[in-house]
Amino acid sequence: MTIKLPAVAFRNIFRNFRRSMLSAIAIAVSAMAIMALLALLEAMESDMASNLVSYYTGQVRVRHESFEQYERYNPLHLSLAADEVLPLVADQEGVRAVTSRINFPANLYLNGKNNAALGVGVDFASEEAFIDFPSLVKEGRLPTEGSNEMLIGAFLARDLHLNLGDKVTVLTSTALRGSNAMTFQIVGIASFPVGGLNAKVLYVPLDRAQYLLRMEGQVQEVLLLTEEGYKERDVASSVKKLLQTELSLGTETKAWKDLNMMYSFLAIAKVIYYVMGAIFFVLGSTVIINTTMMVIYERMREIGTLGALGMQGKELTRLFLLEGTFISIIGSTLGTIVGVIIVFILSKVGLNFTEAMSGVDMEISSILYPQVNFFIAIFVWVYAIIIASLSTLIPSRRASKIQIVEALRYV
């Protein structure tokens, strides 16, 4: 029997338009939800990567080889000589920018009480390639080198009732395993994108941190940014060999992806969400399965007539499969378009997780801006069509097994 199955299948969709649209809407809602979910996950991943590189590890981090082993003891004596390491590393092929930092536990002595915080000694000049400090300062200015001044997170200042001009005594342990204290004046209050930085971190000039910690000329870590086209792990390996060869210095030199487990977990979460997406589409496809089964029973006499006119069982299967595929295409297209629109709006207004993230120590910004990713949009569109279409194969095969005589007798 010669018949244009696609044309017939498309026309059959409109025989019960309301039911067809109900099936399409189920697929559309699934596609829209997965589109928004994957866009949010991509935003979280890129945001975490940016924050890790800027505020925590750089693209490559260099430390003394034994520092990690004793890190829980705050081994500031396991340090690097800044005047030897920095010039050598800066000239290495593939290195774009270099900075050095010292992280130290700090107690802020206020009103007779000690308040825990994390101090970071930085060279604000060399930090320009890593952190855009001027854009983060919402009140005051940056500390100047050689001055007992500090930049403090906005939440920490709020919780401790501190303002510009206030003086705070910082108590900490030194590289010599003793204690030392120094009074700093707050000259800047910063609003960092990461809630954890806002709530517990203060920045002081590197030279003052070295003096406070009895680490003159020493730094805890050296951070690197790599040139475009160079792999972080390759640069880390070459820098490690360079320091060993030139200075006989054993270091722990690693790329940023090898330093943070949470980022690795986020990559695993992406795979899980893709599987969840498939489950969402299968659930949405149950509406098409039910609809197709109803259509088969409603059109039983029609199926018998087509069979009597010579249509083979495989052609009947194709006919109903094409109907389900067309509905899937309509639903997937509608859902993907709506999903793209929603993500585009969120990319402008952002998703504010400030309150939700206030007690969570993660390297993710409090406000996320999902971005429209056309690769994800195309993937979701195709993904939805394939899964929904395959779901209609089960009831479609039912039509091919119907006996012609039984179908013609069906009332």
Q: What are the structure tokens assigned to 206, written together?
A: 């590197």
How is the chain split among helix, strand and coil, in percent rounded to 5? 55, 20, 25
Print burial letters for 292-318: b (CB count within 10 Å at least 16), e (below 16).
bbebbeebbeebbebbeeebeeebbbb
Same domain, 279 and 399: yes
Same domain, 183 and 270: no
Asked, for residue 173, whether it belongs to a domain, the answer is yes
Same domain, 385 and 284: yes
Last residue of a domain, one of 249, 281, 307: 249
Helix axes 374-391, 261-298, angle to 10 degrees: 40
CA distance 65 to 242: 14
Same domain, 231 and 352: no
Same domain, 236 and 346: no
Same domain, 341 and 393: yes
Asked, for residue 207, whether it belongs to a domain, the answer is yes
Asked, for residue 396, whether it belongs to a domain, the answer is yes
Asked, for residue 59, whether it belongs to a domain, the answer is no
* Residue-number span of the structural domain to which 116 is assigned: 66-249
What domain count does the chain have?
2
CA distance 302 to 403: 12
Tell me the pLDDT tens digit for each residue of 23-68. Answer: 888 888 888 888 888 888 888 888 888 899 999 999 999 999 999 8
Same domain, 271 and 244: no
Asked, for residue 357, whether it belongs to a domain, the answer is yes
For the CA atoms of 76, 257, 99, 364, the dihedral, rounded to the nearest 10 degrees, stands at -90
pLDDT score, position 120:
97
Same domain, 295 and 184: no
pLDDT score, position 84:
94
Tell me the pLDDT tens digit for each residue of 238-271. Answer: 999 999 999 999 999 999 988 877 777 777 777 7
Same domain, 175 and 238: yes
pLDDT score, position 184:
96
pLDDT score, position 408:
59
Same domain, 221 and 370: no
pLDDT score, position 342:
92
Residue 286 CB neighbour total at 10 angstroms: 13
Asked, for residue 58, whether it belongs to a domain, the answer is no
Last residue of a domain, one of 249, 284, 300: 249
Same domain, 41 and 80: no
Q: Which helix (H) or strand (E) holds 197?
A: helix 195-200
Asked, for residue 154, whether it belongs to a domain, the answer is yes
Same domain, 27 and 85: no
Last residue of a domain, one of 192, 224, 249: 249
Residue numbers in the chain where pLDDT is lower than 50? 1, 411
pLDDT score, position 172:
94
